[in-house]
């Protein structure tokens, strides 16, 4: 099942995305020569999904609560941004001056609840929130591409996130469809016939990181990566399965 060879290709000339745009149709329009194939995996930057969903917020229209003002004071952040962080989160995991690590309502633990102020493309007062339901959006895009092209592709929405313990961001999956976000290898035997340990693999996250290598982070304007070389998957599970519940998490 593990492929011995993969290609990772940035889709060329992907247009800037505006609120209301049909991302699935844009993906079909930008398919590589020969079109999509069964087993292709499309890795889409969170930013264009959020833009298509119109997930902009205008800081000028936010009235910070008392709680937001207090946290803003402790973290030296804009109280209006902190108000948005709180409204997107179920819990603040950590904070210190310059840093707020929040538990997003989708379960992801991330800086500023994933709210983004770069490449937003409006005025400096606009920020961009995470997509509303990334797993569902992936299912929808996969379904539209299948209806229109007959190709069974898998879809991942990725974002560049910071991690505990390590410097630097890496691509991580926020949503997935058409593939197992988690792959359980525990039933298999290793080369010496022993049961593999610690072998539940975050496949969607590894793909999200691989996609980042060609998407770039900045001025490239290449929000979509195509990973080609996997066989079509016979099982699928969403990224919500990747989220470790607070009760099992030793690092919240």
Which of these segments, 19-27, 62-70, 71-79, 117-125, binds a copy of itself (CB under 8 A)?
117-125
Residue of 28, 92, 151, 170 that binds a copy of itself (CB under 8 A):
170
In angstroms, what is the minimal distance from the CB of 39 to a copy of itself? 13
CB atoms within 10 A of CB 163: 12
Is there a contact between 89 and 102 (Cβ–Cβ < 8 Å)? yes
In angstroms, what is the minimal distance from the CB of 9 to a copy of itself? 5
Residues 37-56 that bind a copy of itself (CB under 8 A): none
Residue of 60, 66, 188, 235 that binds a copy of itself (CB under 8 A):
188
Residue of 56, 65, 105, 117 that binds a copy of itself (CB under 8 A):
117
Q: Is there binding between residue 202 and a copy of itself (CB under 8 A)?
A: yes
Give the rounded distance of the alpha carbon of 218 from its chain centre.
Answer: 16
Q: Is there binding between residue 149 and a copy of itself (CB under 8 A)?
A: no
Beta bridge partners of 57: 127
Residue of 68, 129, 214, 224 that binds a copy of itself (CB under 8 A):
214
Say what the alpha-carbon torsion angle 107, 239, 162, 167 is, to the nearest 10 degrees.
Answer: 130
Q: Is there binding between residue 28 and a copy of itself (CB under 8 A)?
A: no
Determine phi and psi for 90, rounding to 5 degrees: -100, -15
Beta bridge partners of 180: 237
Q: Is there binding between residue 163 and a copy of itself (CB under 8 A)?
A: yes
Which of these segments, 20-28, 54-62, 135-143, 205-213, binds a copy of itself (CB under 8 A)?
205-213
Q: Is there binding between residue 144 and a copy of itself (CB under 8 A)?
A: no
In angstroms, what is the minimal distance from the CB of 152 to a copy of itself? 19
The token duo for 11 is 């889709």
Determine phi and psi for 141, rounding to 5 degrees: -65, -45
Is there a contact between 98 and 112 (Cβ–Cβ < 8 Å)? no
Q: Is there binding between residue 176 and a copy of itself (CB under 8 A)?
A: no
Residue 113 CA: distances (Å) to CA of 34, 49, 79, 182: 39, 16, 14, 23
Q: Is there binding between residue 111 and a copy of itself (CB under 8 A)?
A: yes
Cα 150 from Cα 144, distance rounded (Å)? 9
């Amino acid at each position: 099942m593990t492929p011995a060879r993969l290609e990772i290709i940035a889709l060329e000339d992907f247009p800037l995305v505006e609120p209301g745009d049909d991302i699935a149709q844009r993906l079909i329009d930008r398919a590589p020569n020969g079109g999509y194939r069964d087993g292709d995996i499309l890795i889409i930057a969170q930013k264009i999904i959020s833009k298509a969903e119109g997930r902009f917020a205008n800081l000028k229209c936010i009235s910070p609560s008392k709680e937001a003002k207090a946290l803003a004071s402790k973290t030296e952040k804009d109280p209006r941004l902190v108000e948005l962080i709180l409204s997107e989160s179920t819990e603040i995991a950590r904070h210190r001056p310059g840093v707020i690590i929040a538990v997003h309502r989708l379960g992801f633990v991330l800086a500023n609840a994933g709210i983004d102020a770069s490449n937003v493309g409006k005025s400096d007062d606009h920020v961009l929130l995470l997509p509303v339901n990334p797993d569902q959006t992936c299912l929808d895009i996969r379904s539209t591409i299948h209806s229109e092209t007959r190709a069974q592709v898998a879809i991942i929405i990725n974002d560049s996130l910071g991690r505990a313990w390590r410097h630097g961001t890496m691509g991580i999956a926020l949503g997935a469809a058409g593939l197992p976000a988690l792959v359980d290898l525990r039933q298999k035997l290793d080369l010496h016939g022993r049961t593999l340990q610690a072998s539940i693999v975050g496949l969607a996250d590894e793909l999200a990181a691989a996609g980042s290598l060609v998407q770039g982070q900045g001025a490239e304007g290449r929000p979509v990566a195509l990973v080609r070389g996997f066989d079509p998957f016979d099982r699928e599970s969403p990224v919500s399965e990747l989220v470790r519940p607070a009760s099992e998490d030793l690092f919240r």
